[in-house]
Structure 1
Amino acid sequence: MTENPASHPSVDRVVEGLRAGGVGGDVRWFDDATPTAMHAAEALGVDIGAIANSLIFTLDGEPVLVLTSGSHRVDTTWLGERLGGKLKRADAATVRAATGQVIGGVAPVGHPAPVRTFVDTALADHPEVWAAAGHPNTVFPTTFDELVRLTGGTPTAVEPTGA
């Protein structure tokens, strides 16, 4: 893992978003991609639950961002019902259009326009969480409260209790 060995437009937009939000966490670059929570947790030496997956879904056709703990799977039927609509996994083109980023590197910030965001309450169990920074080889440290503030997100359970 290295500190900012190169520049990438998506990562630069994420850094701008972090700085605009008053966040000082530095982006970390990995030599190899960490496209899943398991890969990122192993590379960082942290619990998989401390990885904040940035997943784009559509809620009745509107792109929404769900920041979920790496230890959870989003129950789309259950969560969709709680959000008052039908929640479906977005395709790669929708993810790219909504975030300007590719699957495996989607960050909570740095998007072309705000995306309605829901933040998994399970992330609050970890004093530090890690999120992708706009590229599959990048992450940055943050906290649950910071994610909620930065994204204007709504704290939300993403699966039934005990699932």
Structure 2
Amino acid sequence: MHPTARKFADQVRDSHGFEATIEEFPEGTKTADDAAAAVGCDVAQIVKSIVMRVGDETVVVLTSGANRVDEASLGSEFDAEQGSVRSANPSEVKAATGWSIGGVPPTCHATDCPVLADPTFESFDRIWAAAGTPEAVFQLTPDDLRALSAPRFVDVFE
């Protein structure tokens, strides 16, 4: 197992008591379509960890692979000024989450940034999320997602 995926598995076990079964795909799971094809699920079952800046705050938005973040809706959730919402750059992602773009898991972040989640996940028994690298994913349930990430389920998606 890749050392970064092992680091995630250890962190999620130690901090939440969750035993993540990590699957690695050398061809990569960088996009939601790639991940869905690799694990054999619907693209909507893929948890994309989108890291955004809303004003001066970093927010992790857990988006279904079938959806996109609506920046105006996200800004409204935080009473942010129009135009103050943007994607975090790679160094901001790493600083806020401790993980690099493409491998950000939905939990075990370096900072206590707010986490929002797509209500779409609640319609599935199983979902898959990144496990620290662009080649590693793990399976969980919507209840697991709630327990691990304590997200606020809101509709801020296109």
The normalised TM-score by structure 2 is: 0.90
Is the 1:14–1:109 Cα contact (8 Å) retained in structure 2?
Answer: no
1:68 matches 2:66: no
Is the 2:47–2:62 Cα contact (8 Å) retained in structure 1?
Answer: yes
**Alpha-carbon distance between aligned partners in 1 of 2:77 and 2:96, rounded to the nearest angstrom:** 22
Structure 1, gaps ≥5 residues long: 1-5
Instruction: Measure how far apart 1:84 and its partner are.
Output: 1.5
The normalised TM-score by structure 1 is: 0.87
How many correspondences in the alignment? Answer: 154
Residue by residue over 1:95-123, the C-alpha shift from the partner in whole angstroms, topping out at 9 and shown as x without a partner, is 11111211111111232232210011111
Alignment correspondent of 1:29: 24
Match of 2:46 among 35, 43, 51: 51
After superposition, the Cα gap between the structure-2 partners of 1:114 and 1:11, relative to the gap in structure 1 and judged at 3 Å, is farther
1:138 matches 2:136: yes
1:1-163 aligned at under 5 Å gives the runs 6-8=1-3, 10-19=4-13, 20-85=15-80, 86-159=84-157, 163=158
Is the 1:16–1:110 Cα contact (8 Å) retained in structure 2?
Answer: no
Is the 2:9–2:20 Cα contact (8 Å) retained in structure 1?
Answer: no
Q: Secondary structure at the match of 1:17?
A: helix
Q: Which moved more, 1:79-88 or 1:99-108?
A: 79-88
Alignment correspondent of 1:3: none
Aligned amino acid, residue 80 of structure 1: G
**Alpha-carbon distance between aligned partners in 1 of 2:52 and 2:26, rounded to the nearest angstrom:** 29
**Alpha-carbon distance between aligned partners in 2 of 1:99 and 1:13, rounded to the nearest angstrom:** 13
- Aligned CA-pair RMSD: 1.5
Identity %: 33
**Alpha-carbon distance between aligned partners in 2 of 1:82 and 1:97, rounded to the nearest angstrom:** 23
Is the 2:9–2:19 Cα contact (8 Å) retained in structure 1?
Answer: no
Structure 2, gaps ≥5 residues long: none
